[in-house]
Structure 1
């Protein structure tokens, strides 16, 4: 989340976590959405970097964070035995 600042990172984290929560049909609170979104942003940024994407801007960062958060919820669901539920 380079270049978006701490406030931007928090906003992106909350929104990405909320979108991932809705896509994966889960029900979390705002703090969990923030945590899922920020961790998802790191996962998404790592994977995007491996694919050769470096600079995504605000919207691109939101998309990458959301995809990472969805992947995180999917993996946690598999570990907990909830399945993908997509």
Structure 2
């Protein structure tokens, strides 16, 4: 996948994660960064748990969203402390 595809998937995943974890949106650039970091986290965590959500672009968005939710929950716990 190209850089533009990663940015678009990261933006969508970050936006979705911001909607799932209320009050954790970071704007467009922040959502892209959270989405890309979430995709990296999910690409490590989900195979460790033997979880395959889907394949293709939809699968990439779902994986990145799950990872971004994990990242946002961890960030909110750190921010709270």
Partner of 2:9: 12
Partner of 2:27: 29
Q: CA deviation at 1:79?
A: 1.1
Structure 1 unaligned segments of length 5 or more: list them. none
**Taking structure 2 as the reference length, what is the TM-score of the superposition?**
0.86
Mapping 1:3-82, distance limit 5 Å: 4-26=1-23, 27-52=25-50, 53=52, 56-81=55-80
CA deviations over 1:7-31 (Å, ceiling 9, x no partner): 1111000000000011111232100
Q: CA deviation at 1:74?
A: 0.2
Equivalent pairs counted in the alignment come to: 78
Question: How far apart are the structure 1 equivalents of 2:55 and 2:43?
Answer: 10
Q: CA deviation at 1:49?
A: 2.1
Question: How far apart are the structure 2 equivalents of 1:57 and 1:48?
Answer: 16
**Taking structure 1 as the reference length, what is the TM-score of the superposition?**
0.81
Structure 2 unaligned segments of length 5 or more: list them. none
Question: How far apart are the structure 2 equivalents of 1:5 and 1:45?
Answer: 17
